[in-house]
Structure 1
Amino acid sequence: MKKFLFLVLSVTASLSTYTQEANATPVVDTYKYGMHLDVAHVVEISPPADVCGPTPVRMTYNDSYGKKHILEYRVIGTGCTN
């Protein structure tokens, strides 16, 4: 009986840890020139701000191993006119 209870508690603890890791929010990386990126699938790109000048945007993507990443980089905003 003790072995069965130990087994049940071990499985429950393992599933709890796995669930917490799966729901963890990825760290936001800031792009640096020459940075190696492993982009297999782009999930989302945030729209640039309505300003005239550099503004940060974020790209959420999955790498070739299926791990989710968030990359922040700068683009020219949409508020500039010619």
Structure 2
Amino acid sequence: MKALMFLVLSSLCATAMADQTPTDVAQQQPVVEEYTYSTHLDIAKVVSMSEVPNVCEVVPAKMEYDDSKGQRHILRYSIMGNGCTN
């Protein structure tokens, strides 16, 4: 009887923890911000930048960075590709 009660309670705990996991991950994921000329940038540390493709046109790029308060940001901006020869 004790073993059965233990299994029931442990399965309820596992279900409750599984329900909380997606909301915790969603809260940790920063919102993607669009860059404009009036955007104030507070970049303390660049975490990652997307690769610039080898094309001769304007392409979207992303930069992930931490600000001076330690908060993570993702910035989307436009950049000229590396494929132009002139």
Task: Indicate whether the TM-score tops 0.5.
Answer: yes
Q: For structure 2, list consecutive stretches of 5 or more residues without a partner in the other structure.
A: 1-16
The share of aligned pairs that are identical, in percent, is 48
* Aligned residue among 72, 80, 85 for 1:76: 80
Structure-to-structure mapping, 1:7-22, within 5 angstroms: 20=24
Aligned partner of 1:25 in structure 2 is 29
How many Å separate the matches in 1 of 2:28 and 2:49? 20
Runs of 4+ in 1 over 2 A off after TM superposition: 21-24
How many correspondences in the alignment?
67
Determine helix, strand or coil for the equivalent of 1:20: helix
Whichever residue aligns with residue 48 of structure 1, its letter is V
Root mean square deviation, CA, Å: 2.3
* Aligned residue among 58, 61, 64 for 2:62: 58
Q: Shift of the alpha carbon at 1:23?
A: 6.3
Structure whose alpha-carbon radius of gyration is higher: 2
How many Å separate the matches in 1 of 2:48 and 2:68? 16
How many Å separate the matches in 2 of 1:44 and 1:21? 19
| Larger helix percent | 2
Whichever residue aligns with residue 51 of structure 2, its letter is P
Whichever residue aligns with residue 40 of structure 2, its letter is H
How many Å separate the matches in 2 of 1:21 and 1:64? 23
TM-score normalized with structure 1 length: 0.69
How many Å separate the matches in 2 of 1:39 and 1:23? 21
TM-score normalized with structure 2 length: 0.66
Q: For structure 1, list consecutive stretches of 5 or more residues without a partner in the other structure.
A: 1-12
